[in-house]
Amino acid sequence: MKQTRILALLACSVAALGANAADIPDRPEKLKYPALNYSPPDAKQFRVALKAGPVAYVVPDRELPLVNIFILVRTGDYLDPVGKEGLAGITGYLLARGGTKSKTAEDLEERLAFLAASLNSAVGDTQGSVSLNLLSKDLDEGFAILREMLTAPRFQDDKLALRKQQSLQAMKQRNDDAADIEQRERRYLAYGEGFYFNRHSTQASLESLTRADLEGFHKRWFHPKNFVVAVNGDFEAAAMTARLEKLFAAWPFTGEVPPPVPTERKFAAPGVYLVNKEVNQGRVTILLPGIQRDDPDFPATQVMNDILGGGGFTSRIMNRVRSDEGLAYSAGSGFPGGVYHPMSFLAAFQSKSRTVAYATSIVLEEMRKIATETVTDEELNTTKKQFIETFPQTFATKRQVAGTLAGDEFTGRFAKEPDYWRNYRSKIDAVTKADVQRVAKKFLTPDKVVILVVGTKEEILKGHPDHPVKLESLGGGRLVDQPLRDPLTMKPVTK
């Protein structure tokens, strides 16, 4: 960052010319700034294809005596066998917490705690992860533990029993918080009952899990050919590469490459889906089918969504629903590009029961408006400048450099689009007002809108005396009672 330091000095000399309050301009546009030239890190500078299999991103940083290693694993909940839902999650949890061949779980955790090292593992929807953060003086011992944990975990029986009990009790809370219900039902409506997002663990699937299941899952997927590694901190690059070669060499089992992530989704029929839950504030999510991040329209949808509801206080939904009307504390929209399949568009807010319908109508109106009228120059410029000017923050720390680059390797973006980050700002800058309107029209289709509401049905349907909007009329006139699910079976509860 030598370059920026010189620029900072320049900035200072400019400011020093007149340290007098009388020179303060009346508008911020009149302030002058020195240029800040920034280039994103070049992946090739850090990328190492290890002989032992994985690709690693090795980023030295001698500021603090700490090392951070992060291993991404090609596995996921989507690989749970039928009837064994929850297996991936429990295997991921217990890998680092269930002991190793030579150490009981208790001895291992005690030793790590004494070293003030933090070892973690987890498996999510489409990836697993193992991480170790420790003082650099403990690297030898830490890597020995990591190797044994990855190749010979113990999955101690009592730890499995405890985790099952904890999971079962967490399951019982599934209907307690309206926010949890909303999160879950969003995914049912946007992706369909059979999609891998919606294969939740049940009491029966949880109880069926055995240590042999965990061992089988681990041996099948936790293999160097399924790993991508990010490592940053207090080391020399060559020495770290040698350590990583040793860490992954001569793996004691073969493992498999997992099948592709399923993509077969089913979006719900248009309508208002109302889950009755007695709380004094309704939670609303408006859903539409979405986009994949390598779609050529993705940069334009990012800009469009930012103007509509993604940009916080500068976005239209926040301005109307919160600042103008005081109808919600948080209100906005998201248009995440899916990695493996399109991810849904969503707009969401929470409002007191009686104003749920009115606030929903405002958000729908904004969605229609951005598809039928062009945005202003000021809106477009604010949004583009925001993406462009905050871009350096993507790589603010060495941990982010290693992690972001390894993520691209894992998801295939580096192979497909090696210049993604170098071109990022110019792609955003190229988006026009016409592009914004075109993608809004293409994706924000009113006839497909699915509206999920969680709250007190009776109050919500009453509406507000000052705003005669009926919730029923907003989803094409279709109001569906969306039942709660039994928390232990996930079957809809019929009254």
- Segment 315-344, which members bind other proteins (CB under 8 A)? 318-319, 322-330
CB of 20 to other proteins, least distance (A): 6
Interatomic CA distance for residues 162 and 477, integer angstroms: 48
Q: Is 63 in the site for other proteins (CB under 8 A)?
A: yes
Within residues 178-197, the interface with other proteins by CB under 8 A covers: 178-179
Between residue 105 and residue 124, which ones bind other proteins under the rule CB under 8 A? Answer: 109-110, 113-116
CB of 257 vs other proteins, minimal distance in Å: 33
CB of 57 to other proteins, least distance (A): 18
* Closest CB to other proteins among residues 65, 412: 65
Check residue 141 for interaction with other proteins (CB under 8 A). no
C-alpha triplet 470, 472, 473: angle, nearest 5°: 70
Sign of torsion, CA 198 203 205 209? positive
To the nearest 10 degrees (0 to 180), the angle between helices 87-95 and 211-221 is 80
Q: Contacts with other proteins in 242-271 (CB under 8 A)?
A: none
| Nearest partner of 120 among 484, 128, 87, judged by Cα | 128
The verdict on 480 binding other proteins (CB under 8 A) reads: no
Told to check if 174 binds other proteins by CB under 8 A, we report yes
In which element (H, E) is residue 185 found? Answer: helix 178-191
Cα–Cα distance for residue pair 182/346, rounded to 1 Å: 12
Query: Alpha-carbon distance 211 to 216, whole Å?
Result: 9
Contact residues for 350 (Cβ-Cβ < 8 A; gap 6+):
281, 282, 283, 284, 328, 329, 330
- Encoding tokens for residue 175? 């209907």
Point out which span in 84-92, 121-129, 277-285, 434-442 binds other proteins (CB under 8 A): 277-285
What is the rounded CA–CA span in Å between residue 422 and residue 411?
18
Smallest gap from Cβ 50 to other proteins, in A, equals 25
Phi-psi label, residue 71: left if phi above 0, alpha if psi -120 to 50, beta otherwise: beta
Q: Shortest Cβ distance from residue 166 to other proteins (Å)?
A: 5
Q: Candidates 64-72, 260-268, 360-368, 421-429: pick the segment binding other proteins (CB under 8 A).
A: 64-72
HEC per residue, 330-388: CEEEECCEECCCCEEEEEEEEEEHHHHHHHHHHHHHHHHHHHHCCCCHHHHHHHHHHHH
Give the residue, chosen from 259, 296, 465, 468, that forms a contact with other proteins under the rule CB under 8 A.
465
Least distance (Å) between residue 279 CB and other proteins: 4
In angstroms, give the least distance from the CB of 49 to other proteins.
26
Q: Compute the distance between CA of residue 243 and CA of residue 136 in angstroms, rounded to an integer.
A: 13
The tally of CA atoms less than 13 A away on the side-chain side of residue 314 is 17
Q: Which residue has the tokens 């720390």?
A: 397
Determine, following the binding rule CB under 8 A, whether residue 491 of this chain makes contact with other proteins: yes
Cα 207 to Cα 85, 161, 399: the distances in Å are 10, 9, 39
- Closest CB to other proteins among 111 and 422? 111
Give how far the C-alpha of residue 335 lies from the chain's centroid of Cα atoms, to the nearest Å.
12
Segment near other proteins (CB under 8 A); pick from 130-138, 262-270, 361-369, 468-476: 130-138
Q: How far is CA 455 from CA 200, 273, 282, 418, in A?
A: 23, 11, 4, 46
Binders in 417-456 for other proteins, by CB under 8 A: none
The contact mask relative to other proteins for 362-401 (x = CB under 8 A, - = no) is: -------------------xx--xx-xxx-xx--xx-x--
- Member of 101, 137, 266, 368 binding other proteins (CB under 8 A): 137
Quick one: 118 or 473, whose CB is closer to other proteins? 118
Nearer residue to other proteins within complex by CB, 19 or 257: 19
Cβ 296 to other proteins, closest distance in Å?
Answer: 26
Closer residue to other proteins (CB): 172 or 266:
172
Per CB under 8 A, does 157 bind other proteins? Answer: no
Among 183, 280, 372, 426, binds other proteins (CB under 8 A): 280
What's the closest the beta carbon of residue 77 comes to other proteins, in angstroms?
A: 21
Phi/psi of residue 49, nearest 5 degrees: -90, 105
DSSP secondary structure letter of residue 223: S
User: Of 335, 330, 332, 309, which is closest to residue 443 (Cα–Cα)?
Assistant: 335
- When the beta carbons of 73 and 348 are compared against other proteins, the nearer one is 348
Query: Which CB atom, from 175 or from 445, has the smaller least distance to other proteins?
Result: 175
**Smaller CB distance to other proteins: residue 42 or 158?**
158
List, in order, residues 6 or more apart from 332 with CB less than 8 Å away. 309, 310, 312, 315, 317, 318, 347, 348, 349
Question: Alpha-carbon Rg of the chain, whole angstroms?
Answer: 26
Of positions 65, 83, 194, 446, contacts other proteins by CB under 8 A: 65
Binding positions for other proteins, 199-218, rule CB under 8 A: 202-204, 207
Minimum distance of other proteins from residue 107's CB (angstroms): 10
The residue type of 475 is: G
| Residues in 23-52 that interact with other proteins by CB under 8 A | 23-28, 31, 33-36, 38
CB of 200 to other proteins, least distance (A): 13
Smallest gap from residue 363 Cβ to other proteins (A) = 15
Nearer to other proteins, 126 or 156 (CB): 156
